[in-house]
Amino acid sequence: MSVPDLETYRRRAEQFVGALDSEYYEHFSGRKPVCDTAAVYDRYPELFSREAVGELDALYQRTTEEDAKRRLAYLIAFTVDGFMGEQTKHVVDEIANTEGSTTIEVDGETIGLRRAGVVQGNEADAARRARIQRARLAATDEHLNPLYESLWRRCHQLAAELGYPNYMGLYSEVKGLDYGLLRAELEGFLRDTAGLYERVMDRLARQRLGITLAELTYADLPYLWRAPGFDGTFTADGLVPALRRTLAGMHIDLDAQTNVHLDTEVRELKSPRAFCAPVRVPDEIYLVVLPHGGQDDYAALLHEAGHTEHFAHTSRELPFEYRHLGDNAVTEAFAFIFDHLVVNRSWLAHCLQFTDADDFVRFASINDLYFMRRYAAKLAYETELHTQTGELGGMAAEYSRRLGEATMVDVPEEMYLADVDDGFYCASYLRAWMLEGALRMMLQDRYGTDWFRNDAAGAWLKELWSYGQHFTAEKLLLKQGGGRLDTDPLRHHFERALGR
């Protein structure tokens, strides 16, 4: 790439993004047994060289116009991500394919590693849950951790080769985020919610499993959060109709959206969890679901539908950077707005005819609190992990300690590398939770708790979606009259749902 060819670079970059998302769609939808992202990278060798990173950075330093500078910042972050991906493409494919092909044996039954969590979540026998968990951890440690070790050590080396002290320093600069400040905000949230969390989790464990929080194990968590007692309401057959009804209230006809492709076909290798693949924003968006029922299935589909509608309503007049790149906390916030409908009594009554929902809303709110505390601890752990420049084995105990303290459940060390997001994506989730908390308050204050049936609320969301990811989470909140992006709205939601 050279500076005069910037538009060519952007055009090729958009083609690459589409091809990569298409590869993910084909593999995780079960249409293609082998994931081959390496072949996609090989078709675009000019995009992710050190020279491309250096030239874009030099151009950024010379640019003064605000919009041009923002687009270049998003493009640099994309190029750095792509550079990392290109340099590690073979091990990433090996991880995906190994995970997809690995099986475990439990009580004479062969279970695919990807499906094992679903099986464990449906298992009422605590002793069998523990056996499944042990087999999952053993398989992860034997087959995946050596690959993850290779992946993360290489990523850390690449950050140094780009001239940064460590991986965290690289991503702090290219994402424009101070991970230390964000970590401090979230550690305050952990302190402030510790007492509430301990009380409600202990009560939930006693009610659902007949044990105390102190007796709750990591192996029990998939079953606890699966909550099969609610399956009579959250049926597999009702999943997609509930989504259609939700969107219809905002004057969105899912089946008439020619740019949205709903994939509900059953395939043996299909991911059991819903996902969205934005191949061409806004013209070709895939929403993939394998309905199996349960409240977690509904939350997952609603979450991915939030992504889908955001991408599908993004203005096609926007440049590539604002349609496909930018601050992913924004699209995650729209996804959380949708999946948090499961804690909205008005939505439960309207879409599921679930009127006696107090017990479920409390359960779902505890689930939210658990995951936010877990991700707050993940951020703290990852800021430690990604300042490492050598061996990573010593981080296993740090992972277990930090996540165990936050969740108040012993967390196994074996997940210390598998449970890590590329490019500090956990920070995108955390900032998205903050943005969503503020936007949810705005929706409810302006349009009521049944905002999902209000044309004006739908129009407001469509306007926000049309911006793509032009704005960061912080700037989008300010643009809507909000204040600083912080955890205060989330504390409000949790205290309102669970008490102080």
The pLDDT tens digits for 301-330 are 999 999 999 999 999 999 999 999 999 999
The CATH number of the domain holding residue 263 is 1.10.1370.30
The pLDDT tens digits for 44-72 are 999 999 999 999 999 999 999 999 999 99
For residues 329 and 197, state if they share a domain. yes
Q: What is the dihedral of CA 259, 262, 265, 271, to 10 degrees?
A: 100
Residue written as token pair 């049936």 = 453
For residues 104 and 50, state if they share a domain. yes
Q: Between vectors from CA 75 to CA 74 and to CA 80, what angle results, nearest 5°?
A: 100
d(CA 378, CA 371): 10
Structural domain containing residue 17: 3-175
d(CA 113, CA 106): 11
For residues 222 and 236, state if they share a domain. yes
**67: left (phi > 0), else alpha (psi -120 to 50), else beta?**
alpha
Contact criterion met (CB below 8 Å) for 311 and 331: yes
- Determine which helix (DSSP H) or strand (DSSP E) holds 263, and give its type and residue range: strand 260-263
**HEC sequence for 378-421:** HHHHHHHHCCCCCCCCCHHHHHHHHHHHHHCCCCCHHHCCCCCC
The pLDDT tens digits for 406-417 are 999 999 999 999
Q: Among the three residues 146, 175, 204, which one is the final residue of a domain in this structure?
A: 175
Mean pLDDT value of segment 177-185? 96
Q: Among the three residues 128, 152, 175, which one is the final residue of a domain in this structure?
A: 175
Q: Which long-range contacts (CB under 8 A, 24 or more apart) does 176-183 make?
A: 176/73, 176/472, 177/424, 177/427, 179/379, 179/383, 179/424, 179/427, 180/383, 182/379, 182/427, 182/430, 182/431, 183/379, 183/380, 183/383
* DSSP codes joined into one string, 80-122: HHHHHHHHTHHHHHHHHHHHHH-EEEETTEEEEHHHHHHHHHT
Q: What are the Cα distances from residue 249, in Å, to 193, 283, 388, 451?
A: 35, 23, 49, 9
The pTM of the full predicted model, rounded to 2 decimals, is 0.93
What pLDDT is recorded for position 272?
A: 82
For residues 143 and 86, state if they share a domain. yes
Residue written as token pair 């965290």 = 168
- Evaluate if residue 2 carries a pLDDT over 80: no
Mean pLDDT value of segment 194-198? 97
The pLDDT tens digits for 329-388 are 999 999 999 999 999 999 999 999 999 999 999 999 999 999 999 999 999 999 999 999
What pLDDT is recorded for position 4?
A: 45
Number of domains observed in the structure of the chain: 2
* DSSP codes joined into one string, 264-330: ----TT--SS-EEEEEETTTEEEEE-----SHHHHHHHHHHHHHHHHHHHS-TTS-HHHHH-S-HHH
Q: Among the three residues 175, 193, 220, which one is the final residue of a domain in this structure?
A: 175
The pLDDT tens digits for 98-149 are 998 999 999 999 999 988 998 999 899 999 999 999 999 999 999 999 999 9
For residues 52 and 200, state if they share a domain. no
d(CA 218, CA 412): 8
For residues 171 and 195, state if they share a domain. no
> Given pLDDT bands bounded at 50, 70 and 90, which one contains residue 395?
very high
For residues 276 and 400, state if they share a domain. yes
Mean pLDDT value of segment 436-461? 96
Mean model confidence pLDDT for the chain: 95
For residues 209 and 156, state if they share a domain. no
For residues 359 and 422, state if they share a domain. yes
For residues 134 and 205, state if they share a domain. no
For residues 282 and 390, state if they share a domain. yes
Of 70, 19, 57, 58, the closest CA to residue 41 belongs to: 19
What pLDDT is recorded for position 1?
A: 46
What pLDDT is recorded for position 3?
A: 43
Q: What is the DSSP letter of 238?
A: T
The amino acid sitting at 299 is A
d(CA 385, CA 378): 10
> What is the token pair recorded at 194?
């510790």
For residues 216 and 75, state if they share a domain. no
